[in-house]
Amino acid sequence: MAFFQSTQNDDKPINIYYEDLGTGKPVVFIHGWPLNGNMWEYQVTSLTHYGLRCITYDRRGFGKSDRPIGDYDYEALAGDLKGLLDELDLSDVTLVGFSMGGGEIAKYFSLYGGARVSKVVLVSAVVPYMLQTEDNPEGVPQEVFNKITDGIIDDRPAFMESFAKDFFGVSMLNHPVSAAFLANNLTQVMNSSPIATLECARAFSSTDFRRDVLTINVPTLIIHGDSDKTVPIKATGEQSARLINGARYIVYEGAPHGLWYTDKQKLNRDLIDFIEGYETVDNNEVEREVADDESIDTSSFSSPIR
């Protein structure tokens, strides 16, 4: 097993677990909450066959990485990402961030200027700002995040089992994932530190990335499902498409939050096409452009913390 040591905020170094498979252009996958790098197995097994080097890692507090009691803010998380890119001395990197992982990408660009990175993919990402505020009316009310925190503290297994149903779009009439998949998902989730689970939920729900995403200055692909109940598209994907200059924005019709699995073949093809520079759009995708009159006034955004 491979680890590198990351030191943030002058604290004790922690061990971050990673896997590095394949050869070719490097693609670094950043997992979502409350999972770990194993979630990307359906992308790694496909993309490595197309001549791409696929690198996954477990966020601090998750999977096989160390579980510190603190330092789960996005400055520390982006520092861990930088540590990985430096450790492997990567260049011409494509960063793929799912859900919470989109925040690491945005913060990495604002803190480190996007060093070593040539392309970005945001999949069901939490950026630019999840929380509903006066100047972010499409955001999620604080009460929703309070219920998440309360559910984790009260009965984490039961909460996560229920949370996964919305995550993957499971309903009485729709079963896009098997019972075995959901059981394995719960096992992966429960292997995470409860402290990290809580602290990262607070981080992705309260961090304002609106100025951070403005610093993303490389070709960017935004993919989001229009049936995402976990990270609503209007507060996230649509806003990121307005803020990131020249971003390509693809909406998966009917897709839930966990589209990396439910729509894995489509996502894999879009990733390969974007990384390799191809141009294709599926009939079940809607490629959207943001009109000039939909631009956002950025004067009220909070400044990135440095």
DSSP string, 224-290: EETT-SSS-TTTTHHHHHHHSTT-EEEEETT--TTHHHHTHHHHHHHHHHHHHT-----TTEEEE--
Domain coordinates in residue numbering, the chain: 2-292
Residue in this structure with the two tokens 């897709």, named with its chain if needed: 255
What tens digit of pLDDT does each residue of 202-228 get?
999 999 999 999 999 999 999 999 999
Tally of CA atoms within 13 A in the half-sphere of 252 that contains its CB: 24
Q: Tell me: the pLDDT tens digits for 36-72? A: 999 999 999 999 999 999 999 999 999 999 999 999 9
Provide the CATH topology of domain 2-292.
Answer: Rossmann fold (3.40.50)
Supply the pLDDT for residue 289. 54
Active site residues: 99, 228, 257
pLDDT value of position 9: 72
Q: What is the per-residue pLDDT for 182?
A: 97
pLDDT at 292 over 90: no
Cβ within 8 Å of residue 25, ≥6 positions away: 51, 52, 53, 92, 94, 275
Alpha-carbon distance of 174 to 129, in angstroms, equals: 29
CA distances (Å), origin 243, targets 160, 212, 291:
32, 10, 12
Q: What does the block give as tokens for 283?
A: 């009939």
Is pLDDT of 303 > 90?
A: no
- Residue 7: pLDDT above 90? no
Q: What is the pLDDT confidence band of residue 288, given thresholds at 50, 70 and 90? A: low
**pLDDT higher at 237 or 296:** 237
**Predicted pLDDT at 176:** 94
Cα distance between the two ends of the chain: 33
Helix (H) or strand (E) holding 261: helix 259-262
Report pLDDT digits (tens) over 75-134.
999 999 999 999 999 999 999 999 999 999 999 999 999 999 999 999 999 999 999 999
Task: Give percent of the chain above pLDDT 90.
Answer: 87
Cα atoms in the 13 Å half-sphere on the side-chain side of 67:
13
SS3 182: helix
pTM score = 0.93
Which pLDDT score is estimated for 219? 97
Q: In what order do the strands lie in the sheet with 52-57?
A: 2-6, 14-21, 52-57, 25-30, 93-98, 117-123, 220-225, 248-252, 285-288
